[in-house]
Amino acid sequence: MVVMGGEILAIAEQVRSRVRRDGVDLSGDDAAAERYVADAVRAYSERALAGAHDTLPDEAETARAVVASLTGYGPLQPFLDDPTIEEIWINGPTRVFVARNGVPELTPLVLAESEIRDLVERMLQASGRRVDLSTPFVDASLPDGSRIHVVIPDITRDHISVNIRKFHRRIGDLSRLVALDSLTQQAAEFLRMSVLAGLNILVSGATQAGKTTLVNALLSGARPTDRIVTVEETFELDVAARDVVALQCRQPSLEGTGEITLRRLVKEALRMRPDRLVVGEVREAESLDLLIALNAGVPGMCTIHANTARDALTKLCTLPLLAGRNIDSAFVVPTVATCVDLVVHCRMERGGRRRVSEIVAPSGRHSGSVIEASPIFALDGGELRATGGYPVRTEKFEAAGFDPAIVLSRRS
């Protein structure tokens, strides 16, 4: 794939001119766009036969490229349409990468700086967010739910940096993760039981380890009557439930007003009578508001960046201290110990495979700043196996009529 050819640009401009004359809006009307483009490609080919210019090497491919430039995202559209590609990033005009199954590859695509700027503007248009000298980086969602992150110079050295994490509906429940060998059937049954019992679950892992995918899969096992409220910086979760309210943060206006923070969203979510509160990711002081909600008896779930499950507990004990000097670890540590019921850790292996690598259950006790936790599942010989350990706190299981021992006592 190379930089967009002159014939494609010429045909696209002819279509734009005709659309302006006809007063037609092609946005959201792919059928109309295809008709206009087909007419323009046919006319271009007829002129080529008359010797006006070179013939098109592939009329169908040219038509697809023109449609993409008019209604989609131009030369990036084939990558967005390719179901095997999960991520796209642009480091510069000649450095466009994609990732398949976690493995990155450099594409032959070449973009002009102006094309990159136009693509960014088009992608941000639907979200209402902006990127400029006063706001040199931005997170936003594309209409299909994919997430885009943009950083511009002089924060970057030379070129605009773009990262697109595509949204996939392929993995909708825990059984799909079992089929992909990311999780064992025994672990999936235990996690499904834990969700139905209303346990508070912390999903940890590195970037791109599959945390959000796992949260979506876990929530698919919630009770049909559960009211789920999700809060995120940028929409990523896609909860398959009938009663869902999804909230996202808002950036300040040009005047510096109107910002809605994650902390504010957590507080507002509690006024919406959630049966389960889900925070897409805790990074800073919003972790305090989440702990207060969990301490008030609202079942919750969230993700956090960490190297291990135990590191995730330590980090969750530290982040609330960012909320202010009046927040003391004497409150935070015991609250984390008693509120978090399970930590599920994900990791991405060198070959790109994503999997659950451990599941631990805090006991509710702590020694100083160290929270006691029992491993329930761990990798053994490269396989996720039950350790023989059991959750110390079983009150929520018993209240829901479940016995985790029935699942955990089986041989995997």
Residue with tokens 């020694």: 367
Residue 248 in contact with residue 234, Cβ under 8 Å?
yes
CA distance 132 to 390: 53
Residue 266 in contact with residue 244, Cβ under 8 Å?
no
Q: How many CB atoms lie within 10 A of CB 118?
A: 15
**Cis peptide bond prior to 154, omega within 30° of 0:** yes
What is the torsion angle, in degrees rounded to the nearest 10, for the CA atoms of residue 227, residue 230, residue 235 and residue 240?
A: -30
Residue 303 pLDDT grade (very low, low, confident, very high; cuts 50, 70, 90): very high
CA distance 310 to 359: 10
Q: How many CB atoms lie within 10 A of CB 272?
A: 11
Count, in order, helices (H) and strands (E) of the chain: 14, 15
Residue 52 pLDDT grade (very low, low, confident, very high; cuts 50, 70, 90): confident
Q: Which of 104, 101, 70, 100 has its CA nearest to residue 90?
A: 104
**pLDDT greater than 60 at residue 340:** yes
Q: Tell me the Ramachandran region of residue 45: left when phi exceeds 0, alpha when psi lies from -120 to 50, beta otherwise.
A: alpha
Q: Tell me the Ramachandran region of residue 351: left when phi exceeds 0, alpha when psi lies from -120 to 50, beta otherwise.
A: alpha
pLDDT tens column, 107-160: 999 998 988 998 898 888 777 788 888 889 888 888 888 889 999 998 999 999
Q: How many CB atoms lie within 10 A of CB 340?
A: 26
pLDDT tens column, 147-181: 899 999 989 999 999 999 987 666 678 999 999 89
Q: Per the confidence metrics, is the pTM higher than 0.85?
A: no
Q: What is the arithmetic mean of pLDDT over 217-240?
A: 91
CA distance 20 to 379: 61
